[in-house]
Amino acid sequence: MKKRKFLLFTALMLVVSMVLAACGGGSEEKGGGEGQSEEKPKYMSILTGGTGGTYFPLGGSFAKIVSDATGVSTNAETTGASAENMQSIKDNKGEIAFTQTDIASYATEGKLMFDGNAIDNIKAIGTLYPETIQIVTTEKSGIKTVEDLKGKKVSIGAPGSGTAANAEQILEAYGMTLDDIQKQDLSFDESVNGIKDGNIDAAFVTAGHPTAAVEELSATEKVVIVPVDAEKADKLIEKYPYYTKEEVPSGTYKIGAAVPTVAVQAMLVVKADLSDDVVYDITKAIFENLDQVQHAKAKQIKAENALNGVGIDVHPGAQKYFDEKGIKAAE
């Protein structure tokens, strides 16, 4: 009888220990966050944008920095930019991505181009620099104002980019719609070639300035950047608060005077299930090795500004880095 009780007690304790192990098995896993993979990936992709924009060259620099710092082979991939990148993250086609802050918000909230298709597996690393909305044309086009775009062939960016939403919202501030222009859906490079060849009249380009494709255009044409008037900028910001006032400085693309416009922010996001440790290492590597980035935009990227205007949840691994540095979002 005693032997049977002992065996029953032993069996019961074995079951309890197995249950406890199953419940607590992840408590000591590296990275520890809910729903995260404890394994360090062997390969990562940074989703960027077109070769004529700013994301691609920055992404190439970031990929080398991350590879060197983490030991994870990391590669920059050219894409259709912001909106496409969000969908690609959802579809597990990349681990890190550039995007505009407004597009990231639309994605997580299931709005506009993400209506009925909310993206729930992205978290922020942080914001990088202003993404200036540049309405690009040439002197010979005769276009000087946003109203002059009526009836003209105007590129609003590649399908899947965030530029289209910016174009639509700026036109809205001027009492116009996409129906008022002959809309073209072209990448930055295609837009520049279209302007050069006379196939289109103007193009919306949302990118950090100087933008490579527009610089290329300025080598052969007298570039004009169409201004967004202060009154219209205020109207736009009132409805869409992720915009800020910005300007394209004098001398950029050989223009003679600064041109007022508006901007959103460029940001980096990651797959939410990347471990805290991996994302901490990515964040630390990028923000502490910006001296290795040759692009002019690197001078505007600062860790102390990275939590400003993020608009979506920050990955715990990135947040750990900012907490260690005492960095908080601006009030």
Distance in angstroms (rounded) separating the CA atoms of residues 283 and 274: 12
Separation CA 104–CA 131 (nearest Å): 14
Region 129-154 average pLDDT = 96
- Element housing 59 (H / E): helix 55-70
Identify the pLDDT of residue 9: 45
Least confident of 43-57, 134-148, 167-181: 43-57
pLDDT tens digits along 91-110: 999 999 999 999 999 999 99
What does DSSP say about strands 244-248 and 259-271: parallel, antiparallel, or unpaired? antiparallel
DSSP SS3 for 125: strand
d(CA 292, CA 284): 14
CB 124 within 8 A of CB 279: no
pLDDT confidence bin for 165, thresholds 50/70/90: confident
Instruction: Name the range with the highest mean pLDDT among 36-45, 218-227, 232-241.
Output: 218-227
pLDDT value at residue 21: 38
pLDDT at 227 over 50: yes
| pLDDT at 155 > cutoff 70 | yes
- 85 CB neighbour count, 10 Å cutoff: 33
How far apart, in whole angstroms, are the C-alpha atoms of residue 220 and residue 193?
Answer: 11
The answer to whether 171 and 151 have CB atoms below 8 angstroms apart is: no
Q: Which residues lie across from 277 on neighbouring strands?
A: none
Nearest to 78 by CA among 49, 58, 53: 49
Please report the domains of the chain, with CATH numbers, ordered by start residue: 43-129+267-324 (3.40.190.10), 131-264 (3.40.190.10)
Integer distance in angstroms from the first to the last C-alpha of the chain?
Answer: 72
How does pLDDT run across 33-49, given as a tens digit for each residue?
555 656 789 999 999 99
For the cut 90, the answer to whether the pLDDT of residue 314 exceeds it is yes
The secondary structure of the chain in percent helix, strand, coil, rounded to multiples of 5, reads 45, 20, 35
Q: Could you tell me if 123 and 310 are in contact, meaning their C-beta atoms sit under 8 angstroms apart?
A: no
Local confidence band at 215 (pLDDT 50, 70, 90 cut-offs): very high
The whole-angstrom distance between residue 209's C-alpha and the CA centroid of its chain comes to 15
| H/E run at residue 127 | strand 122-138
Higher confidence at residue 10 or residue 166?
A: 166
Are 187 and 50 within 8 A, CB to CB?
yes
219: tokens are 């080598």
| pLDDT above 90 (res 281) | yes
Pairing relation of β-strands 182-184 and 153-155? parallel
Q: The tokens of 203 are what?
A: 């193009």
Of 32 and 126, more confident: 126
Mean pLDDT of 129-156: 96
Q: What is the pLDDT of residue 28?
A: 32
- Cross-strand bridge partners of residue 137: 224
Tokens of 240: 């869409």
The tokens for 66 are 């991350």
pLDDT of 85 > 90? The answer is: yes
- pLDDT > 70? residue 305: yes
Q: Is the pLDDT of residue 112 over 60?
A: yes
CA distances from 181 to 149, 168, 171, 203, 305 (A): 6, 11, 10, 11, 37
Residue 26: its pLDDT value, please? 34
